């Protein structure tokens, strides 16, 4: 039974997995946001290319809705320091990404950009056993490190966000957080 006391994030999931319910690992920033579109600088226009270079997910941007949550395999965001690979999800209004681990630069870019990435080592098992599927609604409390799959009331743990990460998210991004710390 899950009891998420305070849902900081909640939404419909997109589980990036193969036909055998194995989560796809090592999705790199070129698969997330292809380098052919790096000339686009307006964040509002980046969303249409999200996951457009990941086989089987080319139409993700057409199906995604604001508030959706992506559930991905290990090392999501591997590769370059391409900020557009974070901004394309912000453009679509994606609420957050859950994965067992993230590429280090991708993780830092997301935190700096005010976009939540949460780690959970339980995701692979939940997906493999069919407890978590695309379309399921989940709730996550990033402060307490708890999550709930609404269908079946199955709980899972997430690595809580640090206080500074929560403050950056609340401010909107790292620059706005800095301005709040040191107002003129």
Report pLDDT digits (tens) over 93-147. Answer: 999 999 999 999 999 999 999 999 999 999 999 999 999 999 999 999 988 899 9
pTM of the predicted protein model: 0.94
More confident residue, 20 or 24: 24
Question: Using alpha carbons only, how large is the chain's radius of gyration in Å?
Answer: 16
Pinpoint the alpha helices (H) of the chain: 29-32, 43-46, 60-63, 84-92, 104-112, 123-128, 163-171, 174-181
The pLDDT, as a whole number, for residue 81 is 85
Which three-class secondary structure state does DSSP give residue 10?
Answer: strand
Please report, for residues 44, 70, 104, 179, the alpha-carbon distance to residue 167 in angstroms, rounded to integers and kept in the order given: 24, 22, 20, 12
| C-alpha of 120 from chain center | 12
Residue with tokens 């339980």: 122
Contact 139, 148 (CB under 8 A): yes
Percentages (nearest 5) of helix, strand, coil residues in the chain = 30, 20, 50
Q: At residue 52, does pLDDT exceed 70?
A: yes
pLDDT tens digits for range 161-175: 999 999 999 999 999
Region 60-76: what's the mean pLDDT?
97
Predicted confidence band at 5 (pLDDT cuts at 50, 70, 90)?
low
CATH topology assigned to domain 9-181: Aconitase; domain 4 (3.20.19)
Mean pLDDT (the chain, rounded): 93
Q: From residue 106, how far is each of 22, 89, 126, 149, 150 by CA, in Å?
A: 22, 12, 24, 26, 29
Which pLDDT does position 6 carry in this prediction?
63
Tally of CB atoms within 10 A around 127: 21
């Amino acid at each position: 039974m899950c009891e998420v006391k305070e849902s900081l994030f909640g939404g419909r999931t997109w589980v990036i997995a193969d036909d055998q319910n194995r989560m796809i690992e090592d999705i790199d920033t070129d698969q997330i946001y292809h380098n052919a579109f790096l000339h686009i600088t307006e964040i509002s226009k980046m969303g249409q290319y999200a996951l457009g270079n990941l086989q089987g997910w080319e139409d993700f941007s057409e199906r995604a809705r604001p508030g959706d949550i992506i559930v991905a395999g290990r090392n999501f965001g591997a590769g370059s320091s391409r900020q557009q690979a974070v901004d394309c999800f912000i453009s679509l209004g994606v609420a957050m990404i859950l994965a067992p681990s993230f590429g280090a630069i991708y993780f830092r870019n997301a935190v700096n950009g005010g976009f939540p990435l949460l780690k959970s080592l339980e995701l692979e098992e939940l997906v493999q056993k069919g407890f978590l599927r695309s379309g399921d609604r989940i709730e996550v409390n990033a402060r307490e490190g708890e999550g709930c799959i609404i269908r079946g009331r199955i709980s899972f743990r997430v690595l809580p966000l640090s206080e500074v990460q929560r403050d950056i998210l609340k401010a909107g991004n790292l620059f706005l957080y800095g301005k709040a710390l040191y107002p003129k």
